[in-house]
Structure 1
Amino acid sequence: MLFHYKRKLVTASLTLILAGATVSTAMAANPGQATEKGASSANAPITASVVLRVHNPEALENFARDVSSPGTSNFRQFLTTEQFAAKFGASNEEISRVTRFLQRNGIQVNEVASNHLLIKASGTAAQFNAAFAIGLRDYVRNGRVYHRPDHNPSYPAELADVVTHVSGLSNESFRTPKNHRSLSQPDFSATSNFVRSATASTGGSPKVTFGTPLTVFDVANIYDINPLYAAGINGAGSTVGIVTLADFNPSDAYAYWTMIGLPVKSNRILDIPVDGGGQLSADAGSDETTLDVEQSGGLAPQANIRVYEAPNTDSAFIDAFNQAISDNVVDSISTSWGQPEVFLFPTLFDGNIDNRGEFAAFHQLFLEAAVQGISLFAASGDSGAYDTNRDGAPFPFFSKVLTVDHPAADPAITSSGGTTLPYSHIFRGATVPFVVPTEEVWGWHGLQDYLNTKAGRNVDLFSAGGGGGVSIVFQEPFYQFFTHGIRKTEPNQNWVDIADGNIELLKLPANFHGRNQPDVSLNADPEVGYFVYTTLPGEGSIQAGGTSFVAPQLNGITALLKQADHRRIGFWNPQIYLLQNAVGYGGSFSPFHDITHGDNWFYSGIAGYDDGAGIGTLDVANLALWLNAF
């Protein structure tokens, strides 16, 4: 995957830039690379989504800012999907132009999205090859067969000013769920383990008991949600949305709520398959979808839940967001799936194919959500400051490099980070306890050192921790301009294939003023993690953590805030950064707790904003008061 500078990827008005990244021309054969099987069969069925450009992109950026920023004349003057389509979507003439082109090449048009941003189409490999001057080829990686083009598609002159991206020409995806299991699972034999009460101190550092999994009751206690429940705020009249890449059993969520003794609204879950829906298995990530529903629906027990579940491909992920946002029924959406943003650059993964048009495709959808008042949340990742490094080793066999996760890196979504709650525990083989004295940035750096020196475990936990850092794609957004602690990209960040002779694959830009993430955090450490119930084979009751829990928790919290405020909250970031700058921390009315300890293997918790925990954690009752005052 070599860079092609001849083609401009995205418009400047969408604030997506390349920031000077360069890549070598050397290709590497390594354990993570795919095996080519040859040209795709001419009759192979192909489904794709033609993503259309928004009109007036600069005006869309400005309106998304104003509608989300307190004090502007447009604040919370949200649009309907139809109003968005008329103001910013492709025109009927442009849609007809694309439709005629596809049909002329024998490709069937299946659906035109109501927001006028996407056309779903299907045909054969031969038809797509001819239409976009490509050659689709089949590959196998890790036992999965997929197809991708042999070079970038070409758009004829009639489409050049209309089409942003054609997703589906490649159906491979590197997106993974963002959850981790605890190192030592607790005993689930006693029902009392499922119902527990944690106590938050005045300093915002809750007291928890190690070995007893947390439930949504604990989240409510720790982050001061109970005053809303006491006032009758339970999510009634709100609808939460979940975008996911795996199927699940809705009965598992109802069973979880029953097991912890939480009354919920009946028949509240609507499962909406997109592009055929996702797979149902632990390997496919169904436990992720399950916990998303259990957590969001548990914190907002009377809210409705719409689950948009799609296959794990790039095009299906776009399609699922497109449907959830253009349906415009949900008040908030969370996703706990993502991939390192550098994976969308042309690197060794996809030969010479440039996937960066996906940045624009997602970003304009997220802007649509903002102007329609839909709050968006994405897990920041569970690989600390090194998003390409996973499961104790570089992924796959690459150098350690500071990277962030997408879509959380997009400036039009709220990136949901992770902390560790205070606990003390003597792990097996040790004689002294491992102590976390106060809520801190989640990163297993200190735990690894403890296990190796005190327990003789010789473990490698790098780089498990809350995702965070600086984007090399997205510029620093307006809401971070006046926030103390915002950083630039670090120097000497070169992505190197260490398995095949230290071949440099990507040189990341230094000193780039990029979007910083996460934005806000909650507990995500699996060692003080959450009870998850699922009937998936080999699963059952588990304790897990990860920023996968934080995104749906913020989703459920938004349902409560919407009910309390009698209107949609909209895009969080301009509002919470304004509050952080104006109100700060401490006192009885601050909506935030500052996280000043711990690290995610590179970024440490400091006073104010940091790339470990963002603004910090929440006092939800206080946040509700401030949002209501806007």
Structure 2
Amino acid sequence: MSSCTRVLKAGSHACRKALLPMALALVLSPLSAHAATTWAPTASHAALLKTLSANSAVAGAPATTSTHYVLNVHGKPQVKELVSPLESTKVLHVAVSLNLRNTSQMQVLIKSINTPGNAAYGKFLTPEQFKAAYAPTDAQVQAVVAHLQQSGFTHISVSANNTLVYADGNASTVGTAFNTTMKTYTHNGKQHFGNDADVMVPQALSGIVGSVVGLQNVSTKHTLSYLGPKVGTQVAATQAVSNVTHSPTEFPGIYDAATTPTAFNTTVGIITWGDMSQTESDLALMTSAAAMNPVNVKVVPVTLGSAVDFSDDSSSDVEWNLDSQSITGTSGGVKQLIFYAAANGKGGPADEELTDAGITAAYNQAVVDNLAKVINVSLGEDETGANQSGTQQADDAIFAQAALQGQTFSVSSGDQGVYLTTNGEFETNAGVVLPAPFSLSTYSVSEPASSPNVIAVGGTKLSTNSGAWAGEVAWNDGVEDAGDGNNRIWATGGGTSLFETAPTWQQTTLGASNRQIPDIAYDASSVTGAQIIIGGQRYSVGGTSLASPIFVGVFARAQTYANNSIGFPASFMYRDFPSNPAVLHDVTSGNNGVTYAGTTYGYNAGTGWDKTTGFGSLDISKFNALAYTWGNTNVPPTTAPPPAAPIALTDDVAVTTQGPAGSSQQFTLVVPNGTASFTVRTSGGSGDVSLYVKRGSAAGASGYDYVSAHPSTNTESVTVRNPVAGKYFITVTSPSVFTGVSVLGVY
């Protein structure tokens, strides 16, 4: 495809010339955008719904009617502020989602790729293969591009998989292109905007354009973390079974990683926004404090039209720190951690607003790159809002491509229990919680957790005993002051989707007709959650934004052991978990609603799968053994990572290491003049390592000055007395998989 298809900016003579035939064809067509008298619907509906109310006659004056607006989310809450036309200077960054082709065939292939014995089993598609078989054609893309150009949109570009067209516009261009009008109002000091009529396209584009994302910010993704106090203020529990926070590196022990290899050969992605500098800095502090190897971090900025602001959003650093540190600690270290960062409006220029379009673009970039085997999403919003805006339709297409490529999106199920509608906000009167502003019996779930092609992860409250798992209940910390003038429920999301059909594995196992969430669950309470470094200080942090990263770390371990051959695992989970209860910690108590006036609302945990914690949490080592059978068992469990430069040891500072069977890890230690002796030791972890030391050049079984190679142990030691000063090379090797081995040099 030409560069004009990739980047089409206003004023580009070459691109205008290349697209001229298509543009002329559209303009001259009786169904073209500017000659059209017939409009076709899309999946994007009005964000602001007009309502009319009658006003009674007063003092002889006739009765009148007035226009009000409600938000097109679950429950339709009324906008109490003045709604007016959106100013023409407001820049709108949109993502036009195009419909996939051959979708029935695609759904069959998703199932076939994950069905042992099928000819397609394990034969994941490449992005190029997906584009050729299922993506919109180049001609369809060009038709959409030409329509946007004629309508006045600028900074037009096309995603590499042809599924999204990005562009900049304003209220006028939106009206011309999509036959809708834009409105605005101010709430809590922030400008809100949205379309007040359904989004339409010319009949010529009917069947091509699925939805238009980015026309509203009244219902958008938000982070799902719950910040607790500094760890230093935590009161230690005295009972044997305790509810306390944990370092992320403790979760492998709590959830029984045992000898399970780390995720050293699996790449993980995280969906974020804004600048990642603080998160990278705090992650480096975390790994250093835990004596772990530094994380190989990559940041991929995802622009949207002219939205290129990646300023720091300090309020969201909590989320990205929680994600990255929890994944790193639980996995024991990954091959690479990729942040897919959407352009950020927090604190940036007024025209750089973060909407769902930016997040959808970040999902898509992770799929287009096809580097991350597992991708964490600790974000969510009211499912009705996402459905009505067309965001759900756009996201579902992306997650379907991921499933075909063998990628797994892990998504937090939500932090407001069954009350996603108004972000879980409650009102109080004299300290008594009231059900206003919504009905306590009206439930909702979070998007994108409700997508059938993601793993939705709910939350638990964890108990430990001497660092080992001792029990879990469904997470529900009750209604608390949210710190923003509102009272909010903090509980695991779960329930039934209003819009998504249940995937075949839920239809078969649960007898469900609509998608049910969550699938599994992990620790989420800030009381028992993670100790996360934020700005150099440790805080307790919870939320399902902790639960999802824990699962990502667990599943990344399994992927490394299975040589990254496991596909999207949902069908295997629902097939195998009911008959393998030892793999699970079944959570059988707790609720994700509230009790009011003697009635308990929400869903209760129970034996087996339920709408609070799904199947429960996973025992890492037992799950790893089961999940290995979901991949290609004809392939050796692990493959060697690429050669790396030796790691320089510092006097009396331990580092941890790991590797596949038969591999070696290299280190160096510089011994200064006048040293009486130095010692190199290995200990802990799993495997059977041997230790080789040589001055001046690489050490190994075929050439060394000193060796310690005791069978069936990782406890090895070499001591050199009156050493010659200089650089000593140290090699740790094992005939089997080794993980979590401490290496220490002391002089």
C-alpha displacement of 1:226: 3.1
Instruction: Say which is worse superposed, 323-332 or 562-571, in terms of deviation.
Output: 562-571
Give the CA RMSD over aligned residues: 3.2
Aligned partners of 2:70 and 2:222: how far apart in 1? 23
Q: Does 1:528 align with 2:531?
A: no
Give % identity.
24
Which whole-Å CA distance do the structure 1 matches of 2:436 and 2:296 have between them? 43
1:91 paired residue number = 137
Out of 164, 168, 189, the position equivalent to 2:210 is: 164
Give runs of aligned pairs for residues 427-446 of structure 1, distance below 5 A.
Answer: 438-444=471-477
Q: Deviations over 1:268-291 (max 9, x none)?
A: 3435344335552343x2211111
Residue correspondences, number: 528
CA contact 1:274–1:308 (8 Å) conserved in 2? no
Q: Deviations over 1:158-198 (max 9, x none)?
A: 1111000111222444322111234x6542699xx9xx9xx
Instruction: Name the CA shift for 1:101/1:7 in 2 (closer, same or farther; >3 Å).
Output: closer
Identify if the C-alpha distance between structure 1 residues 578 and 274 changes in structure 2 by more than 3 Å, giving closer, same or farther. Answer: farther
Residue type of the partner of 2:319?
Answer: E
In the alignment, which of 544, 550, 553 is matched to residue 550 of structure 2? Answer: 553
Q: CA deviation at 1:47?
A: 2.0
Letter in 2 for 1:468: G
1:378 and 2:411 aligned:
yes
What is the aligned partner in structure 2 of residue 63 from structure 1? 109
SS state of the match for residue 627, structure 1?
helix
Matches within 5 A, 1:169-180: 169-180=215-226
Q: Is contact 1:277-1:309 (8 Å) kept?
A: no
Q: Is the 8 A contact 1:479 1:574 kept in 2?
A: yes
Provide TM-score, normalisation by structure 1: 0.77
Question: Would the aligned equivalents of 2:474 and 2:590 in 1 still touch at CA under 8 Å?
Answer: yes
Q: Does 1:324 align with 2:366?
A: yes
**2:58 matched to which residue of 1?**
none
Q: Shift in Å at residue 132 of structure 1?
A: 1.7
Following superposition, the deviation at residue 71 of structure 1 comes to 3.9
CA distance in 2, matches of 1:245, 1:395: 34
The alpha carbon displacement at 1:55 in A equals 0.1
Deviations 1:457-516 (A, max 9, x none): xxx9863211111111112221112325x66xxxxxxxxxxxxxxxxxxxxxxxxx3211
Task: State the secondary structure of the residue aligned to 1:74.
Answer: coil
**Of the candidates 401, 420, 424, which is equivalent to residue 390 of structure 1?**
424
- Residue 54 (1) aligns with residue 54 (2): no
What are the superposed Cα offsets for residues 5-29 of structure 1, whole Å, 9 maximum, x if unpaired? x987669xxxxxxxxxx99977567
SS in 2 for 1:566: coil
Alpha-carbon offset, residue 329 of structure 1: 1.3
Tell me if structure 2 keeps the 8 A contact 1:518–1:611: yes
2:86 maps to 1:40:
yes
The answer as to whether partners of 1:331 and 1:568 remain within 8 angstroms in 2 is: no
CA contact (8 A) 2:373 2:564 kept: no
**1:594 alignment partner, one of 586, 590, 595:** 586
**1:572 aligns to what?**
569
Q: Distance in 1 between matches of 2:194 and 2:338?
A: 32
Q: Which TM-score applies when normalising by structure 2? A: 0.65
Q: 1:470 aligns with which of 472, 496, 500?
A: 496
Indicate how the Cα distance of structure 1 residues 380 and 116 shifts in structure 2: closer, same or farther if over 3 A, else same. Answer: same
Q: Determine the structure 2 residue equivalent to 1:452.
A: none
Counterpart residue number, 2:286: 256
| Superposition map of 1:266-415 within 5 A | 266-275=295-304, 276=308, 279-283=311-315, 285-300=316-331, 301-310=333-342, 311=344, 312-344=354-386, 354-355=388-389, 357-388=390-421, 390-393=424-427, 397-400=437-440, 401-415=442-456
1:265 match: 294
Instruction: Quickly say closer, same or farther: Cα 1:111–1:409, change in 2 above 3 A.
Output: same
Asked whether the equivalents of residues 207 and 422 of structure 1 are also in contact (C-alpha less than 8 Å), the reply is no
DSSP 3-state at the match of 1:481: helix
Q: Are the aligned partners of 2:97 and 2:210 in contact in 1 as well (CA < 8 Å)?
A: yes
Taking a change above 3 Å as real, the CA distance of residues 209 and 139 of structure 1, as seen in their structure-2 partners, is: same
Shift of 1:137: 2.8
Contact in 2 for aligned 1:444/1:600 (Cα 8 Å): no
The CA deviation at 1:360 is 1.2
Partner of 1:606: 606
In terms of fraction of residues, the more helix-rich structure is 1
- Report the structure, 1 or 2, having the larger strand content: 2
Structure 2 SS opposite 1:474? strand
Residues 1:80 and 1:277: Cα distance change in structure 2 (over 3 Å): farther
Q: Which amino acid aligns with 1:323?
A: Q
